[in-house]
Amino acid sequence: MEEALEDKFRIVGGQNLCIEEEEVFSTSYWKNTKRKLLNNKVAILSIIILAAILALIFIGPKIFQYGINVPNFKLKNAKPTLEHPFGTDFLGRDIFVRVCYGTQTTLLIGVCGALLNTAIGSIFGAVSGFFGGLTDNIIMRIVEILLCIPTFILAIVISMFYRSGAIALIIAISINGWCNAARLIRGQTLQICNQEYIMAAQALGAEPARIITKHLISNVISIIIVSGTLEIPLVMLSEAFLTFIGCGIAEPQISLGLVTKIGYDNFIFYPYQVIIPGLFMTLVILCFNLIGDGLSDALDPSII
């Protein structure tokens, strides 16, 4: 008699094994992004350091109440002390207070310039990728022409017609600063335009403006966020460079670039007047770059 199929096999162990059902929680894209960002120790440390720097530059001048343009000839080129943590410059002005106010100005220029560049680049990039054809060719040719013009030349031309200052600097940086963002968003838009939901929206008669804002921009928002975050240190470096060559912020205004430029004249005898503001700017820019890298990884859906 042929054996039953059950008799051919014997269960070894596992009789008392208790299998617990694991609950599966659904999570949204943004919750998953938050989780990945919080698990990135380098990005979190950079956020903490940047927050500490922001607190320092706003609270510091209230503790050391020195004017940014008030000279004290008795303390010219004084070394760092408890009374003057970063020392004084050739006019006896407190460098710590000047660095604090200068960082505020440089950060303001960086954030405003990055927002403007990202916003303009996102709009033109989405329009170029969505419409294609003649519109795409015109926008891309404009982008290529603007990228061939150095930023400092634009700053010189603008300074001839507009007084040197933060507004003129932001305008000079943004004239061709949006071009890289436009090319990036255009590439992403070209990929999304071939998706079924875009063609379905077009078939239903949706207006191009609605498709661009509701479908295209919303689906490349992660790229826009990363691009904007990484644009801030680039604008800050542009401000420092343009100010250093005399096309940016000028006294009585103040910025990190201007503090570094003034200290450079005495670098041989008083190197701290350049090194301290330079290290301060380097730390701020490094924090933004590391945060941008962390956001790039957190917003990437392919990384678990």
- The pLDDT of residue 64: 85
- The pLDDT of residue 81: 87
Run of H or E including 120: helix 95-131
| 287 belongs to a structural domain | yes
| 251 belongs to a structural domain | yes
pTM for this prediction:
0.82
Q: Which two tokens stand for residue 16?
A: 């008392």
- The pLDDT of residue 27: 60
| 84 belongs to a structural domain | no
Run of H or E including 172: helix 166-177
Q: Which two tokens stand for residue 39?
A: 């698990």
| Residues 6+ positions from 1 with CB-CB distance below 8 Å | none
Please give the tally of structural domains in the chain: 1
| 12 belongs to a structural domain | no
Rounded Cα gap, residues 303 and 297, in angstroms: 7
- The pLDDT of residue 116: 93
Low-confidence ranges of the chain (pLDDT < 50): 1-2, 17-26
- The pLDDT of residue 54: 93
Distances in Å between the Cα of 102 and the Cα atoms of 68, 144, 240, 255 are 9, 34, 11, 3
| 93 belongs to a structural domain | no
Q: Are 10 and 255 in contact (CB under 8 A)?
A: no
DSSP 254: -
Q: Are 204 and 143 in contact (CB under 8 A)?
A: no
| 20 belongs to a structural domain | no
Nearest to 284 by CA among 27, 46, 117: 46
- The pLDDT of residue 132: 83
How many Cβ atoms are within 10 Å of 296's Cβ, its own excluded? 18
| 284 belongs to a structural domain | yes
State the residue range of the domain holding 35: 31-73+98-298
107: domain CATH number is 1.10.3720.10
| 24 belongs to a structural domain | no
